[in-house]
Structure 1
Amino acid sequence: MAAKIISVINQKGGTGKTTTTINLGCALATLGKKVLLVDLDPQANLSYSLGLTEPAGTLADVFTENKTFHEIKSERSGVSVLPGSNELVDIEISLVNQPERETFLKTILKEAKGYDYILIDCPPSLSLLTVNALAASDEVVIPLQMEVLTLQGLGQILNTISDVQKAFNPKLKVKGIVVVMFDKRRKLSQEIEEYLHENISEKVFENRIRLNVKLAEAPSFGQSILEYDRSSNGAKDYLALAAEFLASK
């Protein structure tokens, strides 16, 4: 059975996108799933957060055919990882004039065998790399902070997903919106979450990711939250989210 490919996307930086890719992926692995994480962000925050500061190769090398999928693949925190690098900026520029420029990543991921889930950490922009991720994916997960401006950004994300559905990938769908950095003490957080439930047709996961300092600390140690502090609210929240993720259609 082919892996389910999930793009984790938000065009705004600092929204918990990388944190969600890592910790949802590691939580799925903890629940017995075989998981591959793909660092498609030129900032390579996912790779750094898992201690891959000097990998044998990166996704940019596979795009340029200097290395193979299997040569760059690393194992960290119970999951496989395809590391990223800032060279992906150059890759994006070079893709512009290539035929079938939107489906390079889809071709690369055909080498990924034996996985249940492939999670792609997308760049914080609606770029050609992001379009590559969406063209390769079955589903999309959208981490969302409870801030007023994020609602405007959500509309842009959903429009991009719709455009990709029409042009390249009619099977693509939104798996769900993940509420991140949730602070129940803030009235605004509750108001925006209520707005989402009342006005957005896409699924909003019931399990929120609470604001948690341990989540911010874990990358400094090159660990997922499940390794860094299994007893933390961050670990509990991502395990609960993973269980809900597996149960939802």
Structure 2
Amino acid sequence: MAATIVSVINQKGGTGKTTTTINLGSALQHLGKRVLLIDLDPQANLSYSLGITEPACTLADVFTGQHSLAECIQERNGLFVAPGSNELVDIEISLVSQEEREKFLQQMLSGAKGYDYILIDCPPSLSLLTVNALAASHEVLIPLQMEVLTLQGLGQILNTVQQIKGTLNKKLKVKGIVVVMYDKRRKLSSEIEDYLKENIDEYIFQQRIRLNVKLAEAPSFGKSVIEYDASSYGAKDYIGLAKEFITVK
């Protein structure tokens, strides 16, 4: 059975996108799934957060044909990772003049066999790399902070998904919205959550990801929060999210 490919996107930086990609992937792996993480962000925060600082090859090398995807994949605590690098900025520029420039990642991932899930950590912008991710994906996962400005960004993301669905990928769908950095003490959090339920048709995961210092500490040790502290709220929340993620169709 082919892997389910999921783009984790938010066009705003600092929204928990990379944190969600890593820790949802780790949680799925702990539930017995085989998971490949694709670090498509030129900042390569996902790679760094898992202790991959000087990889022999990266996705940039795969895009240029210098290496195959299989050659670049590294294993970290049961997770498989295709590292990113800042050279992806140059790759994006070079793609502009290429035919079928939106389909390069799709072609690359077609050779990734033996995985249950492939999670793509997308750049925090609507770039050509992000379009490549959406064109290659079956589903979209949107991490969302309970902040007023994120609502405007959410509308842009949903519009983008619809545009890609209409032009490049008819099978693309929104898996759901994940509330991250949640603080139940803030009145604003509940107000925005109520607004989402009343105005957004997309699925909102019941499992919220609470603010947790362990989530912030884990990347310093090159680990997911589950590997770093399985008893933490962060680990428990992402395990809960993974269980719900598997059941939502």
Q: TM-score with structure 2 length normalisation?
A: 0.99
The CA deviation at 1:208 is 0.2
Which amino acid in structure 1 is aligned with residue 136 of structure 2?
A
Equivalent position SS for 2:141: strand
Match of 1:70 in 2: 70
- When the two chains are superposed, the root-mean-square deviation of aligned CA atoms in Å is 0.4
Q: Distance in 1 between matches of 2:247 and 2:69?
A: 30
Match of 2:51 in 1: 51
| Identity in percent | 76
Unaligned runs of 5+ in 1: none
Match of 1:29 in 2: 29
**Runs of 4 or more off by more than 6 Å in structure 1?**
none
Match of 2:17 in 1: 17
Match of 1:131 in 2: 131
Tell me which moved more, 45-54 or 64-73: 64-73
Q: Distance in 2 between matches of 1:95 and 1:157?
A: 22
Equivalent position SS for 1:48: helix
Q: TM-score with structure 1 length normalisation?
A: 0.99
Equivalent position SS for 1:6: strand
Is residue 165 from structure 1 mapped to residue 168 from structure 2 by the alignment?
no
Which amino acid in structure 1 is aligned with residue 193 of structure 2?
E
Q: Distance in 2 between matches of 1:173 and 1:72?
A: 29
Judge conservation of contact 1:56–1:71 (CA < 8 Å) in 2. Answer: no
Match of 1:208 in 2: 208
1:157-178 deviation digits (Å, cap 9, x = unpaired):
0111011001100110000000
1:59-88 deviation digits (Å, cap 9, x = unpaired):
000000011111111001211100000000
Count of matched residue positions in the alignment of Structure 1 and Structure 2: 249
Which amino acid in structure 2 is aligned with residue 20 of structure 1?
T
Q: Distance in 2 between matches of 1:70 and 1:176?
A: 29
Match of 1:88 in 2: 88
Match of 2:224 in 1: 224
1:193-213 deviation digits (Å, cap 9, x = unpaired):
111111100000000000001
Match of 1:121 in 2: 121
Equivalent position SS for 1:244: helix
Is residue 151 from structure 1 mapped to residue 158 from structure 2 by the alignment?
no
Which amino acid in structure 2 is aligned with residue 69 of structure 1?
L
Q: Distance in 2 between matches of 1:138 and 1:173?
A: 7
